[in-house]
Chain A
Amino acid sequence: MKNLRSNLPGSRTLAAALMASGALLAPAAATAQEDETTITAVMHSGLRVLDPVITTAHITRNHGYMIYDVLTAADENFEPQPQMADWEVSEDELTYTFTLRDGLMFHDGAPVTGADVVASLERWGERDSGGQMIFDVTESLEAPDDKTIVWTLSEPFGPLMDVISKQSAVPPFIMPVRVAETSADETITEYVGSGPFVFNEEEYEPGVSVTYEKFDDYVPREEEASWMAGGKNVNVDRVVWTTMPDNLTAINALAAGEIDYIEQLQIDLMPILESAPDVVVETRDPLGYVTIGRPNFLHPPFDNKLVRQAALAALGQEEMLATMQGDPEYYNVCGAIFGCSTPLGDESGSDIVTEGPNPERSKELLEEAGYDGTPIVVMAPTDVVSLVNQPVVAAQALREGGFEVDLQSMDWQSVVQRRAQQAPIGEGGWNMFFTNWMVPEISDPLINVMVNGRGDDAWFGWPTDPEIEEMRAEFVAAKTPEEQKEIAVRMQEHVMDNVNYIMMGEYVIPQARRDNIQNMIQSPVPVFWNVTKEAE
């Protein structure tokens, strides 16, 4: 215990306080980087996990794009484009050969080699659901020389390039082989990439601030930047991400010129910025987010399709979105399970929810199903602003549609733990919860975890749905975009009938920047390449 006390800073509180007070008299230290161009950005969340493969957290993915590069990347048309490598596909579609471009270098000065790519892809393949499917049909993944990677499959996998080029949830970032050899269930401890920015480990404070410096040896592609593809030209010396838990503080700081950028603005606070002359408010991510409700297929009453259909009828997107966002400029009634602005997006069969609510239809379906009035447990997180409204609005709509609802408030962590419980309702189970996804995270059947129908191996809610699994397999085997689209439309109709999840619409979150911050590319990921900062 003595050791413990002597190691706790608190045991010398007074001394520390006096020292701190004494330090007030210390001469002012020179502030660094006065001549450098620094962008100070308030991000949507603090960066705490530095491994972009172990987590799907958006802030960590964004961090990944700062310091790592990817083999190939989807452009604004969802088309895979070369990034670190060009590729060729054999005629039998079983062999993909990637060739690394010249000039690729890690931040420690070592060249990027095929071995680094192979190790990185293998680690990614253990974590990413799309990656797992590719590795299920992988015969070999090898680097015959420093520049070449050969991926050989046992059977064709049509969407391979789409999967490895995706920008969410876990993109295959390329790391040095020594880092990529870390188990996929363990976080990496060395943060060396070959991307356009270098992570400044000394200045990193988890959850508070993170600093990136321009990587002078990065060789950008010559093409124009388009989402995650194209030339990543860095025009500033440093980018500092800082966390501000209070959006009002961030807004005041932006108006006062203390920061340059706010990634996500709270819509009800936007009027404050209207009178700020040097601030631009805009939507950078054209796709935005979806909000969804997920029923639990394991237990009554949602083990009955008719009851799920009743819930679909009882809910209405307009009410939900208006409560969440307020301003119609920032939401979009949309019934497409793969998103309305994506290549696979289709709204077939969604009228019931896009034109809802229809409580009478809900009551009819409940009667037909023989619903006995057992309350359904809807989990309502109280500490995540973007998820607070949905359960409350849904509970009322479901009550009006004939359901008995037990709305249970809890923090998000409790939702996260409880939604993993398969136990019956009386033993800690649940019937419905709501969550949000970025549109690219639900934009195709391999990425969208809610259309997984593998029972216990599916996402929370655990639908056993052989029909949708069959369609997913067909999607993998599809040879053309037209075939893929046709399958996606069938899946859309199936989900609207079977109610694997309830699409509650799309919304966007505006950003704000000082007007001397320019040339930000439109992108679902808030990237800092191409951005310029003029003197004010």
Chain B
Amino acid sequence: MFVYILKRLLATIPVLLIVAIFVFLLLRLTPGDPAAILAGDAATPAQLERIRDRLGLNDPLHIQFVTWFGQMLKGDLGTSLISNTDVLDMVRDRLGPTINIAVMTIIISVALAVPMGVIAAWRHRTWIDFAVMSFSVLGFSVPVFVIGYILIQVFAIELRWVPVQGYASPSDGIGAFFSRAILPSLTLATIYVALIARMTRASMLEVLGEDYVRTARAKGVRENVVLFRHALRNAAVPILTIIGTGFALLISGVVVTESVFNIPGIGRLTVDAILARDYPVIQAMILLTAGIYVMVNLIVDVSYSFFDPRIRY
């Protein structure tokens, strides 16, 4: 297992290297000029040229790449071309809200979706199954911002149970955090509940038809034990994959939800950086996203062996 993890970690090096080169070149080929954003609408061509020189944007591409890559190797993500602040600090500030909301979303999603999927499979082709599937279709189909606005209207404006917008860190108090994180988490959870419930149901339906389930029932094992210990554990591999991918998606940026609820997360940071062609920030964000996907996939792969002892690394 240790050797497997080590190999996978080493494999991330070429992945991140390719991503780095690709992103660097792609950004330089995309139209746009950070100097123009920095200087504003009235800047003359000569002024823009001088600012480009100062920012190093007029250096040959290979020089720019070597400079940036050298900084990266030293753990320095560079400085924002626009705000002149350290990119690592910017990412660190924005990662907290995103991770906290993502964790809460996944907890809510798993807590709701897995039992829903199990029960839907158990009561296959009954009204419960029909209701769960209907909810899933709805969860997929309704745009996330519509759900967000509906939740704001009901819980923040009509009932006044929670604030309309904003984010509070858990260190500001558990109440403040929950009151601001609950609506965005519920909004995001809608789609993940739909996704995970469907996957759980499909996976459980397959497993519930297996001989060992019939054997367990024949031995008189209680139905909840059959469902959750025997069947769910064997159905877990695809469900875990979905949860892992979902978590990575949530971390890599949920721009619409962050905008609707005014959460200063990394989704907005990335979009703002792209609109301003803030190259160091975009590069850092894409590398970070690639790294998150690699790590989450590794964790998911390793976790398979805990649920299915037949899987060995």
Contacts and interface: CB of A to CB of B under 8 A. Distances in A.
Interface of A: 1, 3-11, 13-14, 16-17, 20-21, 23-29, 31, 46, 48-50, 54-57, 60, 127, 129, 169, 183, 185-187, 189, 205-209, 242, 244-246, 248-249, 252-253, 255-256, 258, 383, 410-414, 416-418, 420, 435, 437, 441, 449, 456-457, 459
A462 B31 CA distance: 21
A416 B90 contact: no
Contact of A57 (B33, B40, B156, B175): B40
A185 B32 CA distance: 19
Contacts of A8: 287-288, 291
Contact of B39 (A46, A56, A258, A418): A56
**What 7 pairs across the A-B complex have the smallest Cβ distances?**
A28-B173, A56-B40, A7-B75, A206-B83, A413-B32, A23-B170, A414-B31
B40 A169 contact: yes
A383 B275 contact: yes
A13 B251 contact: yes
B177 A248 contact: no
Contact of B50 (A23, A185, A435): A185
Contact of B175 (A21, A28, A253, A412): A28
A252 B165 contact: yes
Interface size class of B (residues with CB under 8 A): 35 or more
Contacts, number: 207
Interface string B181-219: 000000000000000000000000000000000000000
A42 B17 CA distance: 40
Given A127-B47, A252-B165, A253-B165, A206 B39 contact: no
Contact of A414 (B32, B100, B173, B264): B32
A348 to B, nearest CB: 25
A441 B272 contact: no
A17 B157 CA distance: 30
A417 B36 contact: yes
Contacts of A245: 259, 262, 268
Nearest to A169: B42
Contacts of B83: 48-50, 206-207
B73 A3 contact: yes
Contact of A413 (B31, B149, B172): B31
Contacts of B50: 185
Given A13-B251, A17-B103, A183-B54, A413 B173 contact: no
A16 B99 contact: yes
A410 B31 CA distance: 10
Interface stretch (B124-132, B231-239, B292-300): B292-300
Given A169-B40, A249-B261, A413-B37, 11 more contacts: A7-B75, A10-B288, A27-B173, A56-B39, A244-B262, A245-B262, A249-B152, A253-B166, A258-B164, A414-B32, A417-B33
Contacts of A6: 75
Contacts of A31: 172-173, 176
Contacts of B276: 48, 413
Contacts of A414: 31-32
Contacts of B296: 13
Contacts of B275: 383, 411-413
B43 A56 contact: yes
Contacts of B166: 253, 258
Contacts of A10: 95, 251, 288-289, 291-292, 295
Contacts of A1: 13, 16-17, 73
Contacts of A5: 12, 16, 291
A62 to B, nearest CB: 13
Contacts of B91: 9
Interface in B63-80: 72-75, 77, 80
A207 B269 contact: yes
A10 B72 CA distance: 15
B44 A21 contact: no
A416 B33 contact: yes
Interface string B94-116: 01100110110000000000000
Interface string B11-34: 011001100000000000001110
A206 B269 CA distance: 10
B98 to A, nearest CB: 10
Contacts of B42: 56, 129, 169, 441, 449, 459
17 contacts: A9-B92, A9-B95, A13-B251, A14-B295, A21-B100, A21-B103, A24-B178, A28-B174, A49-B83, A50-B83, A56-B43, A185-B50, A253-B163, A253-B262, A256-B156, A413-B37, A416-B32
B308 interface: no
A391 to B, nearest CB: 16
Contact of B171 (A26, A185, A441): A26
